[in-house]
Every structure is written in structure tokens, then in C-alpha cells.
């Protein structure tokens, strides 16, 4: 009996060892690709900035402190400064607005595609994904071409005699919203479509049959059924929007900075890599907290769906 | 079953429904007219693709007729959207809202009608009791069995007290035993609520056992409307006779037509009494149908004669397939007894006698 137990134990040990060996490639890649770089950013955020960028290997919490405070040049005292905070707030606000706008435009689009005959749907989906084939920068410049002072919109409006002076759209939040909504729309449409495609449209008929008008069917039947898609789409849009860099840079100009631009600034002209690292990690923290809140608010009710 | 005269709940007048356009146009309903009485259990019976579901969807308002009128208590409802019709549907796969509980599903219609919360609650409780689902009111619809879902679907459709309840093959997803139970349950609910039921099925047995009246449909047309007894014993057309139950078709010459009765002279030379379908046009070779249980096998001479080809035992009865001397086939159904076999063997020369009230002359 004892020997049988021993044999079993040995087999178990061997199995555990094999399991580790087999998962080693995956673990190494996960470490090198995700954890490793992140670790470097964490370490950099606790170092001292070098005179020409880069870092000096000397421990300092200044990077983190500078996220919300400013050190006086003369007497070296720390004082609260809202410059960064206001950019954080602005980024969150604009990203939220982008999410709402993509949802408003994406919902009817996805519904339209989902209600086409099966063969037509593929064509529409294909059209939705076409913008992905073009570089983001080029797409953003294309938007600029449309809305700048000498751009298509202004030229046409002036030619038609509707306006005499071009409307200033570039370098405004409006331009930013146009650009961000355009760029992130497919990321909203695709998960929405994936949810809508699964809807049993007899449920919509059942809604109509039970005296719900079009708006009530939308609110009480379709939206609850598409909820997973709305959540997935919102996450897919909100998170990259929060760290957006190219679009605010091209369309928003230097005054309308977002978080991505602020971080870039620290690694470029600002020559403050530790602050840049700290800002990046703060952004990550915000995203994680937002995600956690989201998952919890949905998860609680989602579980009961069975 | 006696016919109950009454106002018509639904009157369908010359309704056509065409799908597609141009060359690929298909008429799912080809100028259908039918009148459904109040408090009636009315069944639309036919094979798949016959247009029965299309007609139901037109009454519900999910589709709109290409031509014709649909009257509900005398008012044309054809142009109204479904949410403005006092008609509710039990869907084939129930279509219960998966994001709501059983009680929320049942209360949905009342809520949409803007009924006060207390009234909705009371009515939902009544409905739960009616379909015996009180214990499961807070379950999700995905957490209950098929039969229970069926009950919830019924309760949901009955809760707003519709003028007419439409049922689209509601029992087809249930297993045999549950289906039998629900058939009885449906009859009970119809009786208890007094609501007009329009029931769609392809199951002829279901139609015969449950309906007050049946409309038999084929390729977009209503072929015959009548009580189950009418439909079974006095089929008007070959399709109806063939679709419902088993039957024997014989060719005969018709003479002496009077009061819906006639003399039919069969190929064997024998002459039998027969009832004649409405709209029968006198012609040389009419078709006469005789149900297998209405004929009798004899070892002597009968109205027909032939040779026993096959004997099939069914427990309650035995089917004896006979090749007639006129080369037609004829099946006789004979009630079994415990003491003896059917009394015939393959290859036996037999006679078949047809009773006085056994034959019906078809109009086509």
C-alpha cells in the first residue's frame, strides 16, 4: 500500500513538473511582452530625470509627486498644481463624450446591419472595417482636410453663400470629437453588431404583440438584450480614447491637450521620463478602476441572467 | 359537435399575401376568406408552407395583407400595427423575454397598456394561478422547463385579456406526453377565459381533438371549413381526405343526386349510397372516399372483391390491405379481439362490404 502511495506521489510530482515545462513558453512571453516593460516603467517612475532626457539611476519620488504638485524653482517647496489634473479630467470628459457619440451613431448602424439578410451583412461589416486598413494618421489628416478653414466644408458653405467667413473648426473640441468619434466608431459597431446578431427577432415581435410601441420595444427589449455589446463597445472605445495621442495632436492643437499628449511631452521636450512614467501608470490605474467599477455594476445583475 | 351560431370575432375577407416581387413573386395566401366565431376554438390545419402561419401573422399584425380586409368585431384592423390590436400571440418557440422573470414576462403587456402597478400585480398573480406557475414567478425563463415556458407564454398572452388569442404551433416543441397534457390544458383555458382561440397546427390529430371548427389549408388556400366531424367524415376534396386520417379512394359513376345524397356505381359494378360534397359538379368519373373503419371484410361476396395483400397488426386494431380486382388498393381497419386473430390470411380471396353511411363523393 505504502509503495502504491509513493508511486502515485511521484507521478503527481512529475505531472506538475511537466505542466510547468509545457507552460514555460507562454509564461516567458507574457513576462517579456507585458510584465517586463511595465516593470521598467514602474522603476523609471522612481528615478531622477537626466539632463537630456533618459534617467539617472538615483531613487526619487519626484516623478510621482509632480503628477499632482509642482516644486517651486526657488525655495524647493511642493505646492498643489491642478495643471495635470485638469488634463486628466479633460481626457476623461472627452473620452466619455466620444463613447456616448459612438454609441449614438453605432447603435442604429449595428441595428441596420443586423437586420439585413445574412448575405448582405458581410458586405456591410466589410465596409465598416475598411478604415482599419488605412493608417490612423492619414485618416486623421483626412478629417483635417474636411474641416480646416480652407477645407471641403468651409469651401462648399462659402460657395453656396451660406457663410462669408470660414467657420473655425480646427483646434477646437468639436474637431477633436469629430475625429475621435470617426476613429473609434468601428470599435463600437462591431461588438454591438455581435450582440444584435444573436437577438431572436421574434422577441421584438413579441414586444409589439404585447402593446409595446417602437420606443418601448427598443428600451425594454432590444437594449437589455444588446447590453453586453454596449458594455464591450464602451470599454473598447473609452479606454483607447483616454490615451488617444494622434487625433488630439493633429485636430486639437497644442492648447487642447489630452493625457496621451501630456505623457508624450514628458518623454520629448519635457525631458522628464520619471514624470512621464508616473503619468502613464496613473492612466493605467484610472482605467483599471473604471473597468472594475463597470464589471461590478454589470456583473452583479449579469449573474442573475443565468 | 353542434355548431354555435354567434357574432364573428375575426372576419377575413379576400385576403391575399404576396412575398417578393416580379418573377420571384410567391402568393403565400391566395384570396382567403373565412369567418371565425366568438368564443370558438378555431384551428388552421395544413402542411408546412400552406399559408397557415402567414394568415396568423396577418391577424397579429406582423405582416400586412397585399389585398383584402381583416375585421375584428366588424372593425378593419388590417392597417393597424400589432401594438394597437387587442390580439395576442403564443409563439412557436414561446419568445419569452430572457432578461425578465416569469412574473415580469406575464406583466409586460399590461405594463405597456399603462395599467396601474397594483392591477398588474393582481392580474399577474391570477395568471400564475391559472397556469399553475405560482411557485416559479421569480425564476428566469431560462431556468424553467419547456412545458413551464409554454405555460408562461400562455399566461403572458392571456394576461391583457385579448379579444382573440393566436397560437402558432405552440405544442410542437413538447414531447408526446406533455403535448397531450397541454392539449387538455389549452381546452380548459379556452373554456375558462371564454377567449376566441385561433390555433395553427400541422398535426391533424391535435386539430381533430381540440377544435370547435377546423380550416384545412393547402398552397395558400382554404379548402374546407367545418367541425372535426365534418372534416373527417365529409371531406370535400382529395387533399382534405388524404391529409386527415387514412382513407380509400375509389372511382365511381354518380347518379340520382338529391339532398346531398347520391348513388355511386363502383368499378366492381356494385352500387352504394354516398353523401356528396358541397359544390360537386356531376361528371363521369367522380372520386368516392371510404374510411378504413367504415368498411367490412367478408369471406363471401361484398360490394368489392379482391385479394388480401398484407396484414398489419396495430394493437387496438388490424389493417388489412386488399388488392381489388379493379387493381385499386383498399385498406380495411378491423377492431381486434383477444380471442382470435383477424380471421384472414395473405392471399385470401375476400369481399368488402361498405355500409350505408360510409361513402363520400369528393368534388374534385
The CATH 1.10.3720.10 portion of chain A extends over: 83-305
Task: Please provide the CATH number assigned to the domain covering B246-361.
Answer: 2.40.50.140
Residue B114 has pLDDT above 50, yes or no: yes
Percent of chain A with pLDDT over 90: 47
Residue B281 has pLDDT above 90, yes or no: no
pLDDT (0 to 100) of residue A304: 39
pLDDT digits (tens, 9 = 90+) for A24-49: 999 999 888 888 899 999 999 999 98
CB contact under 8 A, B83 and A220: no
**Residue B272 bridge partners (DSSP):** B264
Residue B234 has pLDDT above 70, yes or no: yes
According to the per-residue pLDDT averaged within each range, which of A59-63, A83-87, B4-8, B222-226 is highest?
B222-226
Higher-confidence residue of B23 and B161: namely B161
**Alpha-carbon distance A179 to nearest alpha carbon in chain B (angstroms):** 36
Interface test mutation site (partner A, options B64, B84, B90, B99, max chain A beta carbons within 10 A): B99
Residue B205 has pLDDT above 80, yes or no: yes
pLDDT digits (tens, 9 = 90+) for A125-158: 999 988 888 888 999 999 999 998 888 899 999 9
B108 touches chain A (CB under 8 A): yes
Domain residue spans in chain B?
8-233, 246-361
Residue A306 has pLDDT above 60, yes or no: no
From the list B88, B93, B142, which residue is nearest A210 (CB)?
Answer: B88
Residue B175 has pLDDT above 90, yes or no: no
CB contact under 8 A, B112 and A224: no
Q: What does the pLDDT average to over A233-260?
A: 87
* Confidence category of residue A52, pLDDT binned at 50, 70, 90: confident
- Name the residue of chain A whose CA is nearest to B93's CA: A202
* Confidence category of residue B267, pLDDT binned at 50, 70, 90: confident
* Confidence category of residue A299, pLDDT binned at 50, 70, 90: low
pLDDT (0 to 100) of residue B26: 84
Q: What does the pLDDT average to over B37-53?
A: 93
* Confidence category of residue B1, pLDDT binned at 50, 70, 90: very low
pLDDT (0 to 100) of residue A218: 95
pLDDT digits (tens, 9 = 90+) for B287-298: 999 999 999 998
Interface test mutation site (partner B, options A209, A220, A226, A231, max chain B beta carbons within 10 A): A209
Domain B8-233 fold is Rossmann fold (3.40.50)
Q: What does the pLDDT average to over B301-325?
A: 90
| Structural class in CATH, domain A83-305 | mainly alpha
Cβ(B269)–Cβ(B356) under 8 Å?
Answer: no
Residue B157 has pLDDT above 90, yes or no: yes
**Alpha-carbon distance B95 to nearest alpha carbon in chain A (angstroms):** 5
Q: What average pLDDT is seen over chain B? A: 90
Say how many CA atoms lie within 13 Å of B23 toward its Cβ. Answer: 0
A304 touches chain B (CB under 8 A): yes
- Chain A residues touching residue B97 (CB < 8 angstroms): 203, 206-207, 221
Q: What does the pLDDT average to over B217-228?
A: 95
* Confidence category of residue B337, pLDDT binned at 50, 70, 90: confident
* Confidence category of residue A1, pLDDT binned at 50, 70, 90: low
* Confidence category of residue B6, pLDDT binned at 50, 70, 90: low
Percent of chain B with pLDDT over 70: 98
Q: Is B105 exposed, middle or buried (CB count within 10 Å of its CB: 0-12, 13-18, 19+)? A: buried
From the list B83, B97, B156, which residue is nearest A208 (CB)?
Answer: B83
pLDDT (0 to 100) of residue A274: 92
Tally C-beta pairs within 8 A across A and B. 69
* Confidence category of residue B11, pLDDT binned at 50, 70, 90: very high
pLDDT digits (tens, 9 = 90+) for A166-224: 888 888 888 999 999 999 999 999 999 999 999 998 999 999 999 999 999 999 999 99
pLDDT (0 to 100) of residue A281: 94
pLDDT digits (tens, 9 = 90+) for B47-60: 998 999 999 999 99
pLDDT (0 to 100) of residue A305: 40
pLDDT digits (tens, 9 = 90+) for A97-113: 999 999 999 999 999 99
Alpha helices in chain B (DSSP H): 52-60, 102-112, 117-130, 146-158, 176-193, 204-210, 228-233, 238-243
Cβ(A225)–Cβ(A195) under 8 Å?
Answer: yes
CB contact under 8 A, A216 and B112: yes
B88 touches chain A (CB under 8 A): yes
pLDDT (0 to 100) of residue B278: 86
Interface test mutation site (partner B, options A117, A195, A204, A210, max chain B beta carbons within 10 A): A210
Q: What does the pLDDT average to over B220-228?
A: 95
Query: Measured between alpha carbons, how far is residue B93 from residues B51, B87, B174, B254, B316 in Å?
Result: 18, 18, 10, 48, 34
**Residue B216 bridge partners (DSSP):** B45, B224
Q: What is the SS3 string spanning chain A?
A: CHHHHHHHHHHHHHHHHHHHHHHHHHHHHHHHHHHHHHHHHHHHHCCEECECECEECCCCCHHHHHHHEEECCCCCCEEECCHHHHHHHHHHHHHHHHHHHHHHHHHHHHHHHHCCCHHHHHHHHHHHHHHHHCCHHHHHHHHHHHHCCCCHHHHHHHHCCCCCCCCCCCCCHHHHHHHHHHHHHHHHHHHHHHHHHCCCHHHHHHHHHCCCCHHHHHHHHHHHHHHHHHHHHHHHHHHHHHCCCHHHHHHHCCCCCCHHHHHHHHHCCCCCHHHHHHHHHHHHHHHHHHHHHHHHHHHHHHHHHC
From the list A205, A210, A211, which residue is nearest B62 (CB)?
Answer: A205
Residue B309 has pLDDT above 50, yes or no: yes
CB contact under 8 A, A206 and B98: no
Q: What average pLDDT is seen over chain A? A: 88
pLDDT (0 to 100) of residue A294: 79
Amino acid at each position: 500500500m505504502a509503495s502504491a502511495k509513493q508511486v502515485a506521489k511521484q507521478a503527481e510530482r512529475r505531472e506538475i513538473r511537466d505542466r510547468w515545462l509545457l507552460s514555460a513558453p507562454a509564461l516567458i512571453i507574457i513576462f517579456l511582452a507585458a510584465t517586463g516593460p511595465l516593470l521598467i516603467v514602474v522603476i523609471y517612475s522612481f528615478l531622477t530625470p537626466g539632463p537630456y532626457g533618459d534617467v539617472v539611476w538615483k531613487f526619487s519620488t519626484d516623478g510621482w509627486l509632480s503628477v499632482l504638485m509642482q516644486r517651486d524653482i526657488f525655495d524647493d517647496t511642493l505646492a498643489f498644481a491642478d495643471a495635470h489634473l485638469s488634463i486628466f479630467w479633460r481626457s476623461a470628459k472627452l473620452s466619455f463624450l466620444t463613447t456616448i457619440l459612438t454609441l449614438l451613431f453605432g447603435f442604429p448602424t449595428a441595428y441596420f446591419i443586423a437586420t439585413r439578410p445574412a448575405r448582405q451583412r458581410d458586405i456591410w461589416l466589410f465596409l465598416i472595417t475598411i478604415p482599419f486598413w488605412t493608417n490612423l494618421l492619414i485618416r486623421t489628416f483626412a478629417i483635417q482636410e474636411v474641416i480646416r478653414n480652407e477645407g471641403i466644408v468651409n469651401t462648399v458653405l462659402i460657395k453656396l453663400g451660406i457663410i462669408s467667413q470660414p467657420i473655425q473648426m480646427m483646434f477646437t473640441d468639436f474637431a477633436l470629437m469629430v475625429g475621435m468619434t470617426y476613429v473609434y466608431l468601428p470599435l463600437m459597431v462591431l461588438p454591438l453588431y455581435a450582440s444584435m446578431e444573436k437577438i431572436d427577432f421574434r422577441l421584438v415581435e413579441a414586444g409589439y404583440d404585447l402593446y409595446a410601441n417602437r420606443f418601448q420595444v427598443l428600451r425594454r427589449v432590444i437594449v437589455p438584450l444588446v447590453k453586453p455589446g454596449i458594455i464591450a463597445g464602451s470599454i473598447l472605445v473609452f479606454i483607447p480614447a483616454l490615451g488617444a495621442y494622434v487625433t488630439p495632436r493633429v485636430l486639437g492643437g497644442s492648447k487642447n491637450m489630452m493625457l496621451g499628449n501630456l505623457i508624450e511631452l514628458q518623454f520629448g521636450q519635457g525631458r522628464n521620463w520619471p514624470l512621464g512614467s508616473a503619468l502613464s501608470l496613473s492612466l493605467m490605474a484610472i482605467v483599471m478602476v473604471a473597468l472594475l467599477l463597470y464589471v461590478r455594476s454589470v456583473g452583479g445583475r449579469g449573474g442573475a441572467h443565468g | 359537435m353542434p355548431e354555435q351560431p354567434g357574432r364573428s370575432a375575426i372576419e377575413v375577407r379576400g385576403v391575399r399575401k404576396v412575398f417578393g416581387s416580379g418573377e420571384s413573386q410567391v402568393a403565400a395566401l391566395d384570396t382567403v376568406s373565412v369567418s371565425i366565431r366568438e368564443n370558438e376554438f378555431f384551428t388552421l390545419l395544413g402542411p408546412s408552407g400552406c399559408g397557415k402561419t402567414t394568415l396568423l401573422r396577418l391577424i397579429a399584425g406582423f405582416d400586412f395583407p397585399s389585398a383584402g380586409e381583416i375585421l375584428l368585431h366588424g372593425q378593419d384592423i388590417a392597417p393597424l400595427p400589432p401594438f394597437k390590436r387587442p390580439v395576442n400571440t403564443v409563439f412557436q418557440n414561446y419568445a419569452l423575454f430572457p432578461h425578465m422573470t416569469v412574473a415580469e414576462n406575464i406583466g409586460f403587456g399590461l405594463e405597456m397598456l399603462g395599467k396601474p402597478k397594483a392591477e398588474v400585480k393582481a392580474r399577474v398573480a391570477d395568471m400564475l394561478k391559472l397556469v399553475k406557475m405560482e411557485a416559479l414567478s421569480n425564476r428566469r425563463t431560462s431556468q424553467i422547463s419547456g412545458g413551464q415556458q409554454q405555460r408562461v407564454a400562455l399566461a403572458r398572452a392571456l394576461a391583457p385579456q385579448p379579444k382573440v388569442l393566436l397560437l402558432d404551433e405552440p405544442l410542437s416543441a413538447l414531447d408526446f406526453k406533455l403535448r397531450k397534457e397541454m392539449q387538455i390544458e389549452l381546452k380548459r383555458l379556452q373554456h375558462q377565459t371564454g377567449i376566441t382561440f385561433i390555433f395553427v397546427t400541422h398535426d391533424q390529430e391535435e386539430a381533430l381533438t381540440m377544435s370547435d371548427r377546423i380550416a384545412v389549408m393547402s398552397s395558400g388556400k382554404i379548402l374546407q371549413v367545418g367541425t372535426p366531424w365534418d372534416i373527417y367524415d365529409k371531406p370535400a376534396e382529395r387533399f382534405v381526405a388524404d391529409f386527415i386520417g387514412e382513407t380509400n379512394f375509389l372511382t365511381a359513376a354518380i347518379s340520382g343526386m338529391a339532398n346531398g345524397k347520391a348513388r355511386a356505381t363502383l368499378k366492381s359494378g356494385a352500387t352504394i349510397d354516398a353523401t356528396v360534397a358541397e359544390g360537386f359538379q356531376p361528371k363521369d368519373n367522380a372520386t368516392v372516399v371510404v374510411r378504413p373503419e367504415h368498411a367490412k371484410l367478408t369471406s363471401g361476396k361484398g360490394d368489392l372483391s379482391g385479394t388480401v395483400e398484407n396484414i398489419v397488426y396495430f394493437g387496438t386494431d388490424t389493417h388489412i390491405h386488399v388488392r381489388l380486382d379493379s387493381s385499386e388498393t383498399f385498406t380495411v381497419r378491423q377492431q381486434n379481439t383477444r380471442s382470435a386473430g383477424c380471421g384472414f390470411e395473405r392471399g385470401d380471396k375476400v369481399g368488402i362490404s361498405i355500409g350505408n353511411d360510409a361513402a363520400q363523393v369528393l368534388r374534385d
